[in-house]
Amino acid sequence: MMKLEISGLSFSYGERQVLEDISFGVAEGEFVSLLGPSGCGKSTVLKLLTGILSPDRGRILVDGEEIRGLSSHFAYMPQNDLLFPWKTILDNVCLYGRIHGSLEEMRERAREYFPVFGLEGYEDSYPASLSGGMRQRAAFLRTALCSADILLLDEPFGALDVITRGEMQDWLLAMRKELGKTVVLVTHDMDEAIYLSDRILILNTAPAGIHGEISVCETQRDRDWLYGQGELRREIHGRIMGKERKGNAAL
Amino acid sequence: MKQTSERLMPAFFILGLLVLWEGAVRIFGIPLYVLPSPVQVAETLVQELPVLALHARVTVAEALAGVAISLVLALALGVLMDCFPMIRQGLYPVLVVTQTVPMIVLAPIFIIYMGFGAAPKILTVVLMCFFPVAVSFSDGLSQVDAEYVHLVRSYGAGQWKTYCLVKIPAAVPALLSGLKVAATYSISGAVVGEWIGSQEGLGYYLLRVKNGYMLDKVFACVAVIIFLSLCMNGLIRLYQYLGMPYLRKQR
C-alpha cells in the first residue's frame, strides 16, 4: 500500500482550471518531486494536501484512509521561511508544540536538533539576525518537528542564492536519512529535482496534468554525479515542453 | 558625528526661537498680559509647580483611563471587524464620521449627560484616542500576510489561536503607531474636557488663569501639557523598545 495516494484530483480558482485529474502515489519514506514551470499549479497540489484549499473532485488517501480538510499527517513548509519576527528561533521552531499545548516538551526536543541544523547558539536570537540559509534551516526544523509523517516542501530553497541553495540541498540530502519521513517536494528547478528525489513527477502548464514520471537511480549523489545527468535533463525538458510521449521512464 | 549634530539641530532651533522671543519682549517692552517672556514663564513654572502638579495628576489620570479604554475597545472592535467583514463595512464609515464632529461641541453635551465628574473628560479622551488606535490596528490586522495564516492553520490552529499566534502579534507594530498618536492627543483631550466644566485638572487651571489675564501662568501650563504629552508618547516608545526587542535595529 502506498503511504500517500492521490486520485483524480481537480481544482479551479473560479473559472480558471488549475489542476485536472491528477493522480499519483508516494511510497513510505520516498522522496518525490513535483516538477513543472512556474504557475502550473504545483503549489496548489500541496495546498490541497494541507487542507488550505479543498479540491473540486478527487480523493486524497494516507495509509489507505481518505483525508478531508486539515490533517495531522502533513507538515507544510512554504517557499518563504515565514518565521515570526517577534518570536525567538527556539519559539519559532516549536510552533507546532505551541499550538498543540506541548511547548515545554517540544523545546527540549528542539534543543537537541539545533546543532544538527547548524543553529546552535541562536536559540534566543530573532529571525532578523539570521542569514537566509539559517532561516530556511530553522523553518525546516519547524516543519520536521511536527508530528506529521509526510513533509510537503514548497520550493523551500527558491528564495536563496545559488551557493546557499546548493549547500541547503546537500544538507537536506544528508538530513533525509536521519528524519526518515516521506517527502513531497515542489520545485521548478530541474537539477534540484534530480539531485534530491527518488522519483520526479512532471507537470506541465495549467490545467496541469502529470506528464509522466521519471525514477532517479539510487547512486552516490554528489555534485559531480548531478552534472553527469545530461540525458535525464534532456528527457525532463522534452516532457515539460510536451514534445515527448507520455509515460514512465527510469534513467 | 552626523548623528549627534542631527539630534542637536532641533534643540538649537528651539533655543534660537526662545532667544528671539525673549529679546523681542524686552526690546519692545511687551506687557505680561499680552506676551510673557520665556524667562518669566520659566520663573512662574517653578513657582506654580506644586499647584500645576496637583492639577496635572488629575489630567494624567483621565488621559490614562481614556487611552486604556480606547485600547481595549480598539482591540475588541479590530478583531470583530476583521472576523466579520459585514461589521467592518458598516462600522468603518461611522468611525470616520465621529472624527469629523468637533470635540468642543461634544464635550459640553457629555457634561449634560454625565455630570461634572471625571466621566465626561474620560469620554472626550476616548473619542479622540479611539479612532487612531482602532484604525491602525484594524489596518494592521487586514495586512497580515495570508501565508502566515495558512501556515498556522495547516498546523492545526483554530480561529482563536490564529489570532493569538499570528494576527494580533503581527498587527502590534501598527497598533503601536496608532497608540503613539493617541497617547500624544490624550492629554489635550482631557484638557478640552476639563475646560468645558470642572473643578480640577490642567484644563480648569488654564481657564482660570486665562480669565485672569495671567498669561505667564497660561504659558507655564501649556509647557506642562506639552511635557506630559511627550511623556505619554515616550511611554509607548519605551514599551515598544522593551516589549519588542525584535524591532530594534539588528547588529
Residue B89 belongs to domain with CATH number:
1.10.3720.10
Shared-domain flag, residues B17 and B115: no
Q: What is the 3-state secondary structure (H, E, C) of chain B?
A: CHHHHHHHHHHHHHHHHHHHHHHHHHHHCCCCCCCCCHHHHHHHHHHHHHHHHHHHHHHHHHHHHHHHHHHHHHHHHHHHHHHCHHHHHHHHHHHHHHCCCCHHHHHHHHHHHHCCCCHHHHHHHHHHHHHHHHHHHHHHHHCCCHHHHHHHHHCCCCHHHHHHHHHHHHHHHHHHHHHHHHHHHHHHHHHHHHHHCCCCCHHHHHHHHHHCCCHHHHHHHHHHHHHHHHHHHHHHHHHHHHHCHHHCCCC
pLDDT band at B251 (very low <50, low <70, confident <90, very high): very low
Closest Cα in chain A, distance from residue B79 (Å):
20
Which residues of chain B make contact with A128, given a CB cutoff of 8 A? 246, 250
A114 touches chain B (CB under 8 A): no
- Tell me, yes or no, whether B192 and B118 share the same domain: yes
Confidence (pLDDT) at B57: 95
A127 contact residues in B (CB cutoff 8 A): 246
Quick one: B191 and B93 in the same domain?
Answer: yes
Mean pLDDT of chain B: 90
Tens digits of per-residue pLDDT, B121-148? 999 999 989 989 999 999 999 999 888 9
Q: Do A74 and B153 touch (CB under 8 A)?
A: no
Same domain, yes or no: B45 and B14 = no
Q: Which residue of A has its CA nearest to B171?
A: A86
Same domain, B176 and B230: yes
* Same-domain status, B185 and B126: yes
**pLDDT tens digits, A79-89:** 888 999 999 99
Q: Based on the domain organization, do B21 and B89 belong to the same domain?
A: no
A47/B contact by beta carbon, under 8 A:
yes
Number of domains forming the structure of chain B: 2
Q: Is the pLDDT of residue A245 over 70?
A: no
- CA distance to partner chain B, nearest, from residue A50 (Å): 6
> pTM for this structure?
0.78
Q: pLDDT band for position B250 (50/70/90)? A: very low
What confidence tier does A220 reach under pLDDT thresholds 50, 70, 90? low
Tell me: do B183 and B239 sit in the same domain: yes
Domain with B152 in it: 36-250
Judge whether residue A136 has pLDDT over 60: yes
A80 in reach of chain B (CB within 8 A): yes
Minimal C-alpha gap between B172 and chain A (Å): 10
ipTM of the complex: 0.77
User: Is the same domain home to B10 and B133?
Assistant: no
Same domain, B22 and B109: no
Least confident span in A148-152, A213-217, B44-48, B88-92: A213-217
